[in-house]
Amino acid sequence: MGGSSGLVDWRGRPVNKKKHGGVRASIFIHALVLLSNAANIASILNLVSYLRESMHMDVARASTIASNFFAALQMFSIPAAFLADSYMKRFYTVLIFGPIEILGYILLAVQAHVPSLHPPPCNSSLKTSTCEPVHGSNLSLLLLGLYLIPIGDGAARACLPALGGEQFDISDPVEQRQEASFFNWYTFAVSSGGFVGLVFVVWVENSRGWDLGFVVCALCVLLGMLIWIAGFPFYRNQLPSGSPITRILQVLVAAFKKRKVELPEDASELKQIKQDDADALEVLQRTEGLKCLDKAAIDTGNASPWSLCSITQVEEAKIVLRMVPIFLSSVLGYIPVPLILNFTVQQGNTMDTKLGAIHISPATLFIIPTVFQMVILILYDRFIVPFLRRITGYVGGVTHLQRIGIGFLSATLATGVAALVETKRKKVAEENGLMDASTGIPMSVFWLTVQFFLLGVVDVTSFVGLLEFFYSEASMGMKSIGSSIFYCILGVSAWLGSLLIQLANQITRRGDGTGGWLDGTNLNKGKLDRFYWLLAILELVSLLIYMFFARLYVYRNNQRVVVEGEKNASLNDSEEVI
């Protein structure tokens, strides 16, 4: 099926490819992605500072709330995706939940502005000063404002990649290339939003006040939504097809009921649907493997949906099960990425942050990997992909899983480089008698650019590759869920990363409860270099596990370039390309 099959315009009529979809429609989507990420990335990276300085929380509690906020941003994409695929168009899902995100920022702005809604100012460095942390109803207001934001942003994360992918017909040679570029430019919009947030929004929060900073965040999201809504007449929209989770559960239940029934030798005896059936978004052909699920399509006289399923329904369940090993190995592969990024900034805080006569602030260090991502994405999309496409014949230059693997290899190298740089940083601190100092180590912060560059490569390859893989492999009725699975990987890996820090500290502490690798506030006396080597080993093992499952995976869609003579050919043939 082509990418525009079964799609409708805003009035519910079949789409006209000359009027709907394409690059023009995707520009409106990229605008919302850029502006919403300008607000959210700034909030994620600066939230700990707000909780400690304005709400007077201790380090542990502030870090926990910030980690939970980041995870919630990723995880709420799952229920939003379920609603979009099952009951509402993607456009209406974002339209309904988007204002809730704006409301969250408004509540935070009101709390930051009204003195009675937050603790009074104090100086924690003075022993005579008592800094009372936020509590009671004010704490409830803070948490309410924070967790309203993921409700709106989760809907955007789940629906915008899928909505963007729908704007391109993969059976059309031109639009097939444009769809491959869409996910690159989607990631570029995320990085550009992060750049704007780090340069402008963080500056407003730190220099002009948190109340004004949260207002700017709300205005960014509001402006992005208004631009995105303006593109409504140009979008191609997929109609919801009912709950995919229910369909998969029906297959599992029906297959279990008929587990003792023999499969017929003639596959045509299994129940199948036709393309012209009212509920048929897509007709999937029977594939080899997981034959136990095929029993759900055997007609034993009971036509209940929990006893008899179509082959298309069975194949939809197979698609999800086949992606599980890739999901799990990718969760392991992504664990070191946020940890390296966070610890790299802490390393940079102790080093020489001068750039000529300019001092680089700690938060500004995040701009370095962001700029790397933006530059690499442009080079990758404009030069590397066309070059590789001519050699390999794949529309993206390489397959999705190959691209993801390159990212995990870069993450492995990044952890190794980070360990070496940290070893040198501690050696310089020791040679200069600065082991007790928290800043001023005479070693340029630009020693960190190599690991920042490698992290940029991870986002250009694994970030885009995973997003595109789960979107393209998902069935037509699960595109939003496919996109949300990727963000679920980020959320789960963030939680596991926090758990890994706690385990490493607990195991390496001495009998008196001190001496853990990452205990204390002095990085020079810690063992961050050893923790980096632990991450390098973990990343290498996860890379090997990922490569094993990637080689076994059989794509349901052919990723080779469509030529004009093959425009009307089916793209549903499974082909092993790794």
SS3 for 19-33 is CCCHHHHHHHHHHHH
Query: How many Å apart are CA 376 and CA 119, to the nearest integer?
Result: 44
For the CA atoms of 206, 209, 212, 215, the dihedral, rounded to the nearest 10 degrees, stands at: 60
Query: How many Å apart are CA 528 and CA 420, to the nearest integer?
Result: 11
CATH of domain 7-119+134-240: 1.20.1250.20
- Predicted TM-score (pTM) of the model is 0.83
Query: How many Å apart are CA 30 and CA 36, to the nearest integer?
Result: 10
Query: How many Å apart are CA 508 and CA 514, to the nearest integer?
Result: 9
CATH of domain 322-560: 1.20.1250.20
Full 3-state SS string of 76-110: CHHHHHHHHHHCCCHHHHHHHHHHHHHHHHHHHHH
Exposure on the CB side of residue 514, measured as CA atoms within 13 A: 4
Task: Look at residues 354, 472, 357 and name the one whose alpha carbon lies nearest to residue 404.
Answer: 472
CA angle, residues 486, 490, 494, in degrees to nearest 5 = 160
Query: How many Å apart are CA 121 and CA 119, to the nearest integer?
Result: 7
Same fold, 7-119+134-240 and 322-560: yes
For residue 113, CA distances in Å to 80, 116, 131, 212 come to 31, 9, 19, 8
Ordered per-residue pLDDT tens for the chain, 578 residues: 344 456 888 888 888 888 888 889 999 999 999 999 999 988 887 887 788 778 887 766 776 788 788 888 888 888 888 888 888 888 899 999 999 999 999 999 999 999 888 888 876 544 445 678 888 888 999 999 999 999 989 899 889 998 888 888 877 888 888 888 888 899 899 999 999 998 899 889 888 889 999 999 999 999 999 999 999 999 988 888 778 888 899 999 999 998 888 888 877 778 877 655 545 567 888 888 888 888 888 888 888 888 888 888 898 899 999 999 999 999 999 998 888 877 877 788 788 877 777 777 656 677 877 888 888 888 888 888 889 888 888 888 889 999 999 999 999 999 999 999 999 999 998 888 888 777 788 888 888 888 888 988 888 889 889 988 998 888 888 888 888 888 889 888 888 888 888 888 888 887 665 677 877 667 788 888 898 999 999 999 999 999 999 999 988 877 777 665 544 444 444 344 34
CA 491 to chain centre: 8
Q: What are the structural domain ranges in the chain?
A: 7-119+134-240, 244-314, 322-560
Pairing of strands 351-352, 441-444: parallel
